[in-house]
Amino acid sequence: MSLTLGLVAAEPSGDALGAGLAEALRERLGDQVDFIGVGGPRMAAYGVDSPFNINELAVLGLIEGLKAYPRVVKRAEETAELCAHSNADAVVLIDSWGFTLRVAQRLRKRAPNLKLIKYVGPQIWASRPGRAKTLARAVDHVLTLQPFEPPMFEAAGLPATFVGHPSLDAEPSGDAARLCARYEIPENVRIVLILFGSRGAEARRLAPAFADAMMRLRARHGQEIAIVAPLAESVATQVRAQAVDDPRLLEAIMVDEAERDDAFAAGHVALACSGTVVSQLALAGVPSVVAYRLGAITHLIADRLVTAPHISLVNMAAGARILPEFVQGAATGEALAGAVSRLLDDDKLYAETKQALADAIAAMRGDGGSASGRAADAILGILNAAR
C-alpha cells in the first residue's frame, strides 16, 4: 500500500502524537508512505513541512482565544487548502479541538470524498457532549486515548477506536539513586514532587498556592521530606523568575526537564497541575494530589459547562476519586498540603492508592503493542475498508 497522508497538529502535545504515528506508519510501510500537513519539529523529522509555526496557535483561556481567533481562522483556511490539493488518501487531525474542527469543516467542502480521521476526540465526558454530533458531521472516524470514550462517540453515529495514550507506553526508566546522589538527598527522606504544569498560565495561577503548600509541608514534616520540582522546559524560566519574587518557591529543589524521569523514580507523592503528567506519575507509581486553576472569566463559563465528576483522567479511568482533586478556589495551600500529608502519614491509604493507580493505568494502556502502533493499524484498517 502506497499512501500520502495529511497530518495536522497545532500544539506540542499534538506534534508528539503525530511524530509517533508517523514513525509507526513508517515501520509498517517504509518508503511507501509520505506525509504532508502542519506540525512542529518532531513531525518535521518525518517530512511534515509545516507552512507556519504552530506555536502561534497555542492559546489558553477565553480571552486569549478571542484575541487569537482571526489568526486561527486564517491558518485553518491555509491548512485546509494545503490538504485539499495534496492528493492525500486521508487526513489525520490531531487533538486541538477548535483548530482541527475548522480544518475538517473546510475540507468537507473542498474535498468531500477525502477520508478524515480525528486522532483524540473532544473530551465530551467532561463537558459539551453535543460536540460528538458536531464531530460526527465533520469526520469519518475518531481514535480515542481513553477506554471509556468510544461508546460516547458511537452513540452520536461516529465510528470510534480506542488506541491508548503513547505517554503510557514506555516502562518507567528513571534512576532514583542518581537523583538523590546529585542533590545529596538522604536515603530515608521521602521526596515530594511539585509539578507546575507545562503552560505559563497554569504555572502562574498555581504557583502561590503551591508555594504556600510547600511551606506548610516543610513546617509539618521538616527534614523528613525533600521537595523536588521537575520543571517543564516551557515554564522553567518563568518559574525560576517567580521564585525571585516569592522565596517560598525556593523550598523546592528545581530540576530541569531532562531529570524528570529520575525525579519520578524517586518520588513518594506529588502535588501536580492537572494534565498528562498525572497519568505519567501514576505510571511511575507516584500518587498525586491534583490541582487546577483557570482565569476568572473562563472559570465562570466552564463551571456551567463541565459535567465530568473528575478532572483527572486517572480518576475517570478508575471510575472513582482515587486521587484528591482541588479546583479553582479550593486549591489553597492549606488544602493541598493537607492532602499531601495524608498520603505521607497514612501507610494504608498510600498502599491502597498505589494499587488503584496500577489498576487504572492497566485499563488506560490498552492491549498489545504501542498506542502509536494501534493508531497506525486503525488508520490502515479504515483505509483498507474504504477501498
CATH number at residue 121: 3.40.50.2000
* Alpha-carbon radius of gyration of the chain: 21
Residues 349 and 323 in one domain: yes
Length reported for the chain? 387
Does one domain contain both 360 and 370? Answer: no
Residue 51, SS3 per DSSP: coil
Q: What is the pLDDT of residue 48?
A: 95
Q: How far apart are CA 192 and CA 87, in angstroms?
A: 52
Same structural domain, 228 and 269: yes
* 112 lies in some domain: yes
Q: What is the secondary structure of 73-116 as a DSSP string? A: HHHHHHHHHHHHTTT-SEEEEES-HHHHHHHHHHHHHH-TTSEE
Question: Are 198 and 131 part of one and the same domain?
Answer: no
Domain-located, residue 103: yes
Same-domain pairing of 112 and 126: yes
CB 15 within 8 A of CB 38: no
DSSP state letter for 122 = -
Locate all alpha helices (DSSP H) within the chain, ordered by sequence: 12-29, 41-44, 62-84, 97-110, 131-138, 150-154, 176-182, 200-221, 236-245, 260-266, 276-283, 296-305, 313-318, 333-345, 347-365, 371-386
Query: 376 and 349 in one domain?
Result: no
Residue with cell 518508503: 31
Instruction: For residue 123, tell me if it sits in a domain.
Output: yes
One domain for residues 353 and 381: no
Residue 349 is placed in which grid cell? 491509604
- The domain tally of the chain equals 2
Separation of first and last alpha carbons in the chain: 11
Q: Which residues of 152-170 are buried (b: 16+ CB within 10 A; e: fewer)?
A: bbeebebebbbbbbbbbbe
Note whether 143 and 228 are same-domain residues: no
Residues 67 and 201 grouped into a single domain = no
Asked if residues 280 and 264 have their Cβ atoms less than 8 Å apart, the reply is: yes
Residue 255: beta bridge partners? 230
Cell triple for 325: 482533586
For residue 65, how many other CB atoms are within 10 A of its CB? 13
Predicted local distance difference test score (pLDDT) of residue 213: 98
Question: Mean pLDDT in runs of 10 for the chain (387 residues)?
Answer: 90 92 96 95 95 74 57 90 93 94 96 96 86 97 94 96 89 94 96 93 93 97 97 92 92 94 97 92 96 65 56 85 94 98 98 95 85 96 89
DSSP state of 189: P
Q: Is residue 170 part of a domain?
A: no
- CB 115, CB 331: distance < 8 Å: no
Q: Is residue 292 part of a domain?
A: yes
Half-sphere exposure of 334 (CA within 13 A, CB side): 2
For residue 171, tell me if it sits in a domain: no
104 and 157 part of one domain:
yes
CA-CA distance, 27 to 4, in Å (whole number)? 15
In this structure, the answer to whether residues 48 and 106 fall within a common structural domain is yes
Gap between the Cα atoms of 210 and 194, Å rounded: 8
Domain extent at residue 318? 176-365
- For residue 107, being part of any structural domain is answered with yes
Angle between helices 333-345 and 347-365 (to 10 degrees): 100
Q: What is the pTM of this model?
A: 0.76
Could you give the CA distance from residue 152 to residue 212 in angstroms, rounded to a whole number? 40
Residue 160's φ and ψ, nearest 5 degrees, are -140, 145
Specify the DSSP class assigned to residue 31: G
Residues contacting 97, CB < 8 A, separation 6+: 122, 131
CA pair distance 190, 53, nearest whole angstrom: 42
pLDDT at site 62: 45
Distance CA 234, CA 15 (A): 15
Residue 236 near residue 256 (C-beta atoms within 8 A): yes
Same domain, 277 and 357: yes
Angle ∠(182,184,190) on CA atoms, nearest 5: 110
CA atoms within 13 Å, Cβ hemisphere of 248: 15
CA distance 98 to 84: 19
Residue at 356 is within a domain: yes
